[in-house]
Structure 1
């Protein structure tokens, strides 16, 4: 039997706080990855920049994958 998703009003204060913190972390990681991708020359990125740009929208895997595997060292 599938459980229905809880509404925001049904979450405990601790669960709400955790959701906000996780969301903020995802936003910061995405901003860092997007900024790095925008500024980094294409020859220092593993794979097409367009593909990585699209991957940044897959939360939280895309930004983490880019920061860990998408960048080549100088």
Structure 2
């Protein structure tokens, strides 16, 4: 099966890709900003680990916000 290029997608699919990409970047940016500003004592585990995990699509930043932070 040949991979489709962005130019070969329909309008709806292109919009979906752009919206999901923007959401991913915003979520990752928020996670990285929070990691930078939050003291290490308020993060569960090493901050460098969460930094790396934040680059795993939606799963990394979501995991950080759900289980990586202390209250």
TM range (shorter): over 0.9
Structure 1 counterpart of 2:17, from 12, 16, 19: 19
CA drift at 1:57: 1.0
Q: Unaligned 5+ residue runs, structure 1? A: none
Deviation by residue 1:15-72 (Cα, 9 ceiling, x = unmatched): 0000000000000000100000110010100000010011111112111110111001
Task: Tell me the C-alpha RMSD between the 2 structures.
Answer: 0.7
Post-superposition, which runs of at least 4 consecutive aligned residues in structure 1 deviate over 2 A?
none
CA drift at 1:4: 2.1
TM-score (norm 1): 0.92
